[in-house]
Amino acid sequence: MLETVLAISGKPGLYRLISRGNRSLIVETVDAQKKRFPAFAADKVISLADIAMYTDEKEVPLRQVLNSIKEKESGKKVSLDYRKASKDELNAFLGEVLPDFDRDRVYPSDIKKLIQWYNILIENGLDDFDEVMKETPGDNVDDRKEA
């Protein structure tokens, strides 16, 4: 599921990949408005499945972090008001979810965005963070058999 949910740099919120256009991606807002528009090559588009959080040892996929938040919050929106929270409150929240996160490389703005994304996903019923897309014909995988 996270493979088709996109973040677009410079645009608030999250977007779902609908289709691929000639030189663009057709995306739709995840919220109730469901507005569709093209995202072009100049837009910095990234799938949530490709994002990871820094820890002291390694990088943890966003999928695992979202699942930890879901477990902590019992599947509901985050109770912390990320807009008004201090740096210490944000660090304490993420510390409960991801105890060994790298406090030098994960900024308060990253934690705010994480909470915002989680809330958007939960509000719109996209809460199965472990769901993985199945490969379909035409994907960028090598389907040729060895001779």
Per-residue pLDDT of 26-52, as tens digits, reads 999 998 889 999 999 889 999 999 999
pTM of structure: 0.85
User: Domain check: are 36 and 57 in the same one?
Assistant: no
pLDDT at 32: 84
> Which residues lie closer than 8 Å to 100 by C-beta, 6 or more apart?
55, 56, 57
Per the structure, how many domains does the chain have? 2
> What pLDDT is recorded for position 142?
47
Which residue range(s) make up the domain with 43? 2-48
- Does a structural domain hold residue 80? yes
Is position 135 within any domain? no
What CATH code is carried by the domain that includes residue 39?
2.30.30.730
pLDDT digit string, tens, across residues 67-125 = 999 999 999 999 999 999 999 999 999 999 999 999 999 999 999 999 999 999 999 99
| Judgement on whether residues 39 and 84 belong to the same structural domain of the protein | no
Q: Within a domain: residue 106?
A: yes
